[in-house]
Amino acid sequence: MTTTKTIQSALISVFDKTGLEPIVQKLHSQNVTIYSTGGTEEYIKKLGIPVVPVEDVTTYPSILGGRVKTLHPKVFGGILNRQDNPSDVEEMKVFEIPQIDLVIVDLYPFEKTVASGASEADIIEKIDIGGISLIRAAAKNFKDTVIVASVNEYNYLLDLISTQNGVTTLEQRRHLATKAFHVSSHYDSAIFNYFNTDETIYKESIENGQVLRYGENPHQKGFFFGDFDKMFTKLHGKELSYNNLLDVDAAVNLILEFKENNPTFAILKHNNACGLATRSSMKQAYLDALAGDPTSAFGGVLIANGKIDVETALEINQLFCEVVIATSYDDKAISILQEKKNRIILVQHDVELPAKQIRTCLNGLLIQDKNNITDNKEGLKTVTLTTPTNQEIEDLLFASKICKNTKSNTIVFAKNGQLIASGTGQTSRVDALKQAIEKANSFGFDLNGAVMASDAFFPFPDCVEIAHHAGITAVIQPGGSIKDELSINYCNENKIAMVFTGTRHFKH
């Protein structure tokens, strides 16, 4: 039996009429019988094209305010019948069911209605019943039926019926069925997530994945699923890689901590800040961020919490960097930064980020709430006899924000609104501390009067002792160890200020 099918009849019922006219015109020119309902029927009539109302087939009008139009055996029999099944062929004759070879249908705009802030009554009415049933029926019977479930497939369909004179192959029908099942599953996921309050059930459907050059390494495939263009306007540069996107994500989350601060500039490498400073001008913030670790800054991702002006751009242009991100740029600053052909320049838009973090784990997923707690002055508890000065409090909170966004185990040193050094991703907190001291010394920073942040508590006093000998005068940590008193006692004996936040900031 041949697997090619010629379209001789079509059921068309769509909410969005965009792009429909040339398809209808082409079907009409090929003598295809067109069935339709409601607004689509009127649309086709206005084009001067004959159309058979579905109610003429079913002998039932559209009822219940349009909730029931196509839900009828004569419609679904026409779609679901198996043309190579003698019993189905006989029943089609007995019940006078017309054959339907092509179904073009789209769904009520449920997601758009939810996003618009509409009332629940309006949202409920945008849960499509007939449309979703037609899609599933036609897609299930792809061996005999063509299904087009989205305006995105109109050009594909028009090309098929134009170049193949209304004939389709099994492979083409299966391709369209796959697209249709994506439409239906995505739609159902959106509806479920609107109603769902059970956090132990997780469903997500993201359309339009972007193929990346490769993954973390050239031998790995890589994809990005998300609306990058909603978050950024890309002004210049090469295609972003998998690793670029990870660094951009880390940069965005870090700079969000400083959104309301004076001009702040951060430089990141491998998802961790290697430089960050808050100053009275963006240029000075950049220069002091760069001074934090000019070696690691090479090939890094740069991000500002405000506009990048000409003076800042001239300084940046002297550094090889992969990505520059800011909320805006002076026109001339853009021209300067574009001098490097591959440098990626992004304008960041104010977009709400996901409330959940998701990663693969073993044979499943790990999902958690995003760490949205930022340590603040009101939440600090001074646990030592020595109270931190106002400047130390500012630096402690500054360091804590960086610490929260750095791989554990981590120690961060800060002084006068500048990241002095950090120890990142170490298996021992002592090792992280020693790494930070070594980095600070290698770049000529004076740690006397600097402050220290830790992402978790100190189980022993060794860290505060080592930090004290390096010149640290104030410490911020979550507290909570059964041996907290050991660290507190050492600080008291050596006139070091220490504050507890009560919040751990592990980042694995």
Active site residues: 140, 270
Token digits of residue 41: 């029927």
C-alpha distances out from residue 60 to 64, 71, 72, 360, 478, Å: 12, 10, 9, 51, 69
106, 14 contact by CB (below 8 A): yes
| Cβ contact 131:67 at 8 Å | no
Q: Which two tokens stand for residue 130?
A: 């007939």
Residue 435, phi then psi, degrees to nearest 5: -65, -40
Please name which of 315, 247, 313, 305 lies closest in space to residue 279, comparing C-alpha atoms. Answer: 305
Cα–Cα distances (Å) from 239 to 231, 302, 337, 342, in that order, read: 16, 17, 16, 9
Lookup: tokens for 319 = 């550094």
Q: Residue 448's closest CA among 422, 417, 489, 420?
A: 420
Cis peptide bond prior to 409, omega within 30° of 0: yes
Alpha-carbon distance of 137 to 494, in angstroms, equals: 77
Distance CA 290, CA 265 (A): 9
Please state, in angstroms and rounded to a whole number, the distance separating the CA atoms of residues 170 and 298: 54
